[in-house]
A = this chain, B = another copy of it.
């Protein structure tokens, strides 16, 4: 069961992190996620960390890496559900997750993704993915 599932919801992907992220699991998530983005053509990735009570520099780096990789693959990442205590600790530790969008919950995260997606389409003067 050593694999974090990636759920497809329309044009977005959802990842819920529930377990301790050790190196191997984090690497595997990055691999799986990039593959899934390429496979599905997803335009957004939502990472739910509501069950994490601790976000250390390792997890912070993993999240930032995922965001960067997704961006290269033309998908926007948003981290949702951060516990208030986690936010406090992150800032106190100087880990402010640069380059990672955040939202309070899944619904709000969805809005953020839709918003950035709409903006991207507008800036390019048209829909790059006509269906």
Q: Which residues on A are within 8 Å of B, measured CB to CB?
A: 1, 3-5, 7-10, 14, 16, 18-20, 48, 50-53, 81, 105-107, 110
Contacts and interface: CB of A to CB of B under 8 A. Distances in A.
Contact of A105 (B4, B8, B19, B81): B8
The prevalent SS among residues of A at the interface is loop
B106 A7 contact: yes
A9 B50 contact: no
Nearest to A50: B5
Given A5-B18, A7-B81, A8-B105, 19 more contacts: A1-B20, A1-B51, A1-B52, A4-B18, A4-B51, A5-B48, A5-B51, A7-B14, A7-B48, A7-B50, A8-B106, A8-B107, A9-B106, A9-B107, A10-B107, A14-B106, A16-B16, A18-B18, A18-B19
B18 A1 contact: yes
Protomer copies: 2
Nearest to A20: B1
Nearest to A46: B7
A42 B51 CA distance: 20
A18 to B, nearest CB: 5
B3 A51 contact: yes
B7 A16 contact: yes
